[in-house]
Amino acid sequence: MRAFRYFLGAAGVGLLAARPALGQAAEVVARTQPAGPGTEKLFWFGLSTLGLVLLVFLVLFMALLLNLRLVLRKVYALPTVHDTWSGRALGLLVGDARLVTGEYRDELMGHDYDGITEYDNDLPPWWKYGFYLTIVFALVYVGYYHVARSGQLQLAEYETEMRQAARLVSAGPDDPNRLTTYAALSAPADLSAGKALFVTNCAPCHGANAEGKVGPNLTDDYWLHGGEINQVYKTIKFGVASKGMVAWKSKLAGKQILQLASYIKSLQGTKPANAKEPQGEKEAADSKPVAAQ
């Protein structure tokens, strides 16, 4: 009991001694303004003091265990304590590691085959408890994500993060992530202007009738980067460097790009001679759009 009282007294003195340093360390951590050199030193001093106090407590705790070891052994030997879970936890303090290693260790099972004997070894309790925990976790996971659908799966979480990231990017006219809502132009003047732009700028790669040469065929239902009018507009404006498609945003105005995209959309299903084989993914042919401008 004297050792226990000594431990409590030393703990109280340690807490009183560490209180100012711990308070200063907490105040430093709580500040939001940039820390200066002096503040940083004060923080590390407080952290070192805390570590020293914890070390002192550990040493005193070990000393207390050494003094109370005989008492703990007598308590551990009681039948009402020895085989309980709390008793096994107490056994770790007196040298019995059953809680970690298991009940049975290298015990013969009485089986002998040509001089080969069989031992019985318990699975370590920590392993068994961990296995039970994974079962509980799996049930909670399936219930939360697949039954109740309260959480986002990986794909939905990825899409959410991409949308959040897109908000941080400037949505100016030169931002390739900016969504447009244009409708294809159908006025003869616009389509005629789009045709002139196509012959001048696009025919060398896509053919005079958009049948496809170096570039893909633009008259079928297959598209490499989307066949909706706004996707075609984006492809023309920003290009696809990896496929050799140049960006026309510095050479054509926005109205010209929309006229060009509208003319390309008007060529769908024309089936020109010597058409290049389909490339990309097939998209359902949409109805002829109404002019937006």
274 inside domain: yes
- Domain membership of residue 38 (yes or no) is yes
Query: Could you tell me if residue 195 is inside a domain?
Result: yes
Which of 94, 118, 138 is the last residue in one of the domains? Answer: 94
Residue 111 inside a domain? The answer is: no
The pLDDT value recorded for residue 204 is 93
* DSSP helix/strand/coil, 168: coil
Q: Does the residue 231 lie in any domain?
A: yes
> In this predicted model, what pLDDT tens digit does every residue of 125-166 receive, in sequence order?
788 889 999 999 999 999 999 999 888 889 989 988 888 776
Count of alpha carbons within 13 angstroms of residue 60, beta-carbon side: 19
**Are residues 46 and 22 in contact, defined by beta-carbon separation less than 8 angstroms?**
yes
**Domain end point (choices 94, 127, 148):** 94
User: Does 178 or 161 have the greater pLDDT score?
Assistant: 161
Environment class of 282 (CB within 10 Å of its CB; exposed 0-12, middle 13-18, buried 19+): exposed
Q: Establish if 178 belongs to a structural domain.
A: no
Structure tokens at 59: 């040493």
Beta strands 116-120; 281-282: pairing state: unpaired
- Six token digits for residue 7: 């431990």
What is the C-alpha to C-alpha distance for residues 105 and 89, in angstroms, rounded to an integer? 18
Instruction: Give the residue from 49, 74, 94 where a domain finishes.
Output: 94
Q: How many domains does the structure of the chain reveal?
A: 2
Q: What pLDDT was estimated at residue 190?
A: 93
- Residue 287's pLDDT band (cuts 50, 70, 90): very low
Give the pTM: 0.43
What pLDDT, on the 0 to 100 scale, is given for residue 234? 92
pLDDT digits (tens, 9 = 90+) for 186-203: 999 999 999 999 999 999
- The torsion defined by the Cα of 83, 87, 89 and 95, in degrees rounded to 10, comes to -90
CA angle, corner 147, sides to 146 and 150, nearest 5? 75
pLDDT interval class at 79 (50, 70, 90)? confident
pLDDT band for position 70 (cuts 50, 70, 90): confident
Report yes or no on 120 lying in a domain: no
How do beta strands 107-113 and 116-120 pair?
antiparallel
- Lookup result for tokens 């298991």: 102
Range of the domain at 52: 2-94
The DSSP secondary-structure symbol of 186 reads -
3-state SS, residue 82 = helix
Token pair recorded at residue 20: 């100012």
Q: What confidence score (pLDDT) does residue 286 get?
A: 54
pLDDT in tens, 99-110: 666 666 666 666
Question: In this predicted model, which residue has the larger pLDDT, 205 or 34?
Answer: 205
CATH number at residue 255: 1.10.760.10
Element (H or E) spanning 118, and its range? strand 116-120
Query: Is residue 47 situated within a structural domain?
Result: yes
